[in-house]
Amino acid sequence: MKIVSLFVFALLLMSCKNEKKITDTKSTDNVATNASLIYPEEGHFKSLRQVTFGGDNAEAYWSFDDQQLVFQSNNKAWNVSCDQMFLMNADASFKTQMPPMISTGKGRTTCAYFLPDNKHIIYASTHLVDDNCPEVPLRKNGKYIWPVYDSFDIFVADLEGNIVKQLTNEKGYDAEPTVSPKGDKIVFTSTRSGDLELYTMNIDGSDVQQITDELGYDGGAFFSPDGTKIIFRSSRPKTPEAIKAYKDLLAEGMVEPTEMELYICNADGSELRQLTDLGNANWSPFFHPSGKKILFSSNFEAERGFPFNLYLIDIDGKNLERVTHGETFDAFPVFSNDGKKLAFSSNRNNGGGRDTNLFIAEWQD
């Protein structure tokens, strides 16, 4: 589960369907562009464009042809009460216009991802259990938590918002699906074993295989560009006290996301190893187009829980490099398939408020 509003809320405390036509609002609707959005130290950004202008917007994933993106938003101006899925062309921005919603508008949705045909997406939704948005607990015993809804299942939908297939139908949480660049496999997180583990399945939902099997929350997984490896975040408790706290929270459908490290393995789960050992929350990893580096978000340098910035690290754990230099929140980095652009979420240019918006950068190594 990747709920950006919970993270942003924590940072601040610690310091109906639409017409299916996509409306492209170009640079005339984009008040701040390019250099004015880039901090001086951010040398990997050749240019930077703001895409959304209100609400919490996150997890923007590219179509296989890089022509469109699907993302989740709870922007109240778009007539939603909690996260729903929206579609955009790669050159669009939405300051005054509204993108088409391509989820049902019911329940809560998360983690949409394009399928190889560029005509369908997968995403997780709670709508089968309740049309209404489920409650979102923010704190438990004074600690920040994420809900893990048992009502999440994974669906396939077309770009008109019609659900055409249900891929999971197990008891418990099934969510966080992403698709291999090879177009053959989906990786997702499930509680079907009693713990939050990673699984893979074919694009049609067949041949489900469990690939992690150690106590803790394994999630937010992505394939390498060649489809041979998987990078993911994990909170793996070690002490008796931490194990009890994790199990007690999970029994109530919650996890604590404040201590997470990155792990990497082969696509079948073999050769698993821990990639980072930085402390605090290291999460939202994504492979660099070369397949030799990981771009991720972390607050390991923060003394009070924030800021979150983007970092690069080699897949052998060496050469850690800070990429963004904000003072609040940068996360959910996703490279386009051609490696030329990077979509991510940020609190920059939000007037000091809580809005988390989407940005697209021209990337340079």
Q: Residue 338 — φ and ψ, nearest 5°?
A: -85, -5
Of 360, 365, 363, 362, give the one whose Cα is nearest residue 88: 360
Task: Give the pLDDT of residue 33.
Answer: 53
Q: What is the rounded CA–CA span in Å between residue 333 and residue 344?
A: 4
Q: What is the rounded CA–CA span in Å between residue 176 and residue 345?
A: 17
The rounded Cα 187 to chain-centroid distance in angstroms is 13
Q: What is the rounded CA–CA span in Å between residue 290 and residue 77?
A: 39
> Is residue 184 a contact partner of residue 203, using CB atoms and an 8 Å limit?
yes
Task: Give the pLDDT of residue 144.
Answer: 84
Side-chain-facing half-sphere of 250: CA atoms under 13 Å: 23
> What amino acid is encoded at 134 in this protein?
P
DSSP 192-233: TTSS-EEEEEETTS-S-EE---SSSEEEEEEE-TTSSEEEEE
Task: Give the pLDDT of residue 117.
Answer: 98
The structure tokens 């999970």 sit at 250
> CB atoms < 10 A from the CB of 237, how many?
17
Q: Which residues contact 17 (CB under 8 A, 6 or more apart)?
A: 101, 105, 161
Q: What CATH superfamily classification does 4-19+67-89+97-318 receive?
A: Tricorn protease N-terminal domain (2.120.10.60)
Of 107, 137, 136, give the one whose Cα is nearest residue 123: 107
Q: Identify whether 307 is preceded by a cis peptide bond (ω within 30 of 0).
A: yes
Q: Which residues contact 22 (CB under 8 A, 6 or more apart)?
A: 87, 88, 89, 92, 99, 100
Q: Which residues contact 89 (CB under 8 A, 6 or more apart)?
A: 22, 24, 67, 68
From first to last of its 365 residues, the chain has per-residue pLDDT tens of: 444 544 544 433 333 323 333 333 333 334 445 668 999 999 999 999 999 999 999 999 999 999 999 999 999 999 999 999 999 999 999 998 999 999 999 999 999 999 999 999 999 999 999 999 998 877 777 778 899 999 999 999 999 999 999 999 999 999 999 999 999 999 999 999 999 999 999 999 999 999 999 999 999 999 999 999 999 999 999 999 999 999 999 999 999 998 999 999 999 999 999 999 999 999 999 999 999 999 999 999 998 888 999 999 999 999 999 999 999 999 999 999 999 999 999 999 998 889 999 999 999 99
Q: What is the rounded CA–CA span in Å between residue 345 and residue 302?
A: 19
Helix (H), strand (E) counts: the chain: 2, 27
Task: Give the pLDDT of residue 223.
Answer: 98
Task: Give the pLDDT of residue 230.
Answer: 98
Task: Give the pLDDT of residue 303.
Answer: 82
